[in-house]
Amino acid sequence: MTSLTAAFRCIVARDITLALRRRADVLTTLFFFVIVVSLFPLGVGPEMATLRIIAPGVVWVAALLASMLALERMFYSDYRDGTLEQMLLTPQPLPVLVLGKVFAHWLVSGLPLVLIAPLLGVQYDLPPEGLLILALSLLVGTPVLSLIGAIGAALTLGVRGGGVLVSLLVLPLYIPVLIFGAGAVDASMSGLGAQAHLSLLGAFLLGALILAPWAASAALRISME
| Contact residues for other proteins, defined by CB under 8 A | 151, 155-156, 159-162, 165, 168-169, 171-173, 175-176, 179-180, 183, 186-187, 204, 211, 215, 218-219, 222-223, 225
**Nearest approach, Cβ of residue 65 and other proteins (Å):** 16
C-beta separation of 137 from 184 below 8 A:
yes
Cα of first residue to Cα of last residue in the chain, in angstroms, is 28
**Nearest approach, Cβ of residue 117 and other proteins (Å):** 21
Residue 225: helix, strand or coil by DSSP?
Answer: coil
106 vs 204, beta carbon nearer other proteins: 204
Report the distance separating Cα 48 and Cα 213, nearest Å.
42
54 vs 211, beta carbon nearer other proteins: 211
C-beta separation of 145 from 177 below 8 A:
yes
User: Long-range contacts for 160-165 (Cβ within 8 Å, ≥24 apart)?
Assistant: 162/72, 163/72
**Nearest approach, Cβ of residue 122 and other proteins (Å):** 25
91 vs 161, beta carbon nearer other proteins: 161
**Nearest approach, Cβ of residue 10 and other proteins (Å):** 27
119 vs 163, beta carbon nearer other proteins: 163
- Say how many CA atoms lie within 13 Å of 19 toward its Cβ: 23
